[in-house]
Amino acid sequence: MLRACLLVLALLLAPFISLAAEGSRTPMPVIEKATAGTTCVADPATMRRTHMDLLKHQRNDTVRGGVRTGASSLKACINCHASQQTHSVVQAETNFCVSCHSYAAVQIDCFECHSSKPAGAAHTAAAPAVQTVGAK
């Protein structure tokens, strides 16, 4: 019985131990620069900590309250933070929303519905089949 428990414990801990070992070797994520000459909706340190709350708050205002004028619009994030190369925030591993998230093992489903590209760039040839909310 004890042996079985230890085995289960070892199996449960294995991924964390190897992750911890990897952590020391993995470089910090490189975060792509936003459009030059712009300022974020809050200072970068605040954004790093609270962007998820801002986004969820704005979503609730829009979806439940019909308010579409808030500062923390997801479309606005993408306009400023899309990559110069892919014109997306999630297409390449280095793109803005992915760089940190894959480092922090955060998964978001936002781009199953929302376009990951600024409106003007949504129909370039290399674009993946992303559905733009409201484009129907």
Q: Report residue 50 as tokens.
A: 């609270």
* Interface residue with ligand HEC, options 109, 125, 126, 136 (CB under 6 A): 109
Size of the site for ligand HEC (CB under 6 A): 42
Whichever of 7 and 106 has its CB closer to ligand HEC, that residue is 106
Q: Is 119 helix (H, G, I), strand (E, B) or coil?
A: helix
Q: Report residue 53 as tokens.
A: 């709350």
Per-residue interface string for the shown chain with ligand HEC, residues 38-77, x marking contact by CB under 6 A: xxxx--x--xx--xx-xx--xx--xx----x---xxxxxx
Tell me the closest approach of the beta carbon of residue 82 to ligand HEC, in angstroms.
9
Taken in order 38, 110, 122, 61, the sign of the CA dihedral is negative
**117: contact with ligand HEC by CB under 6 A:** no
Taken in order 41, 42, 48, 51, the sign of the CA dihedral is negative
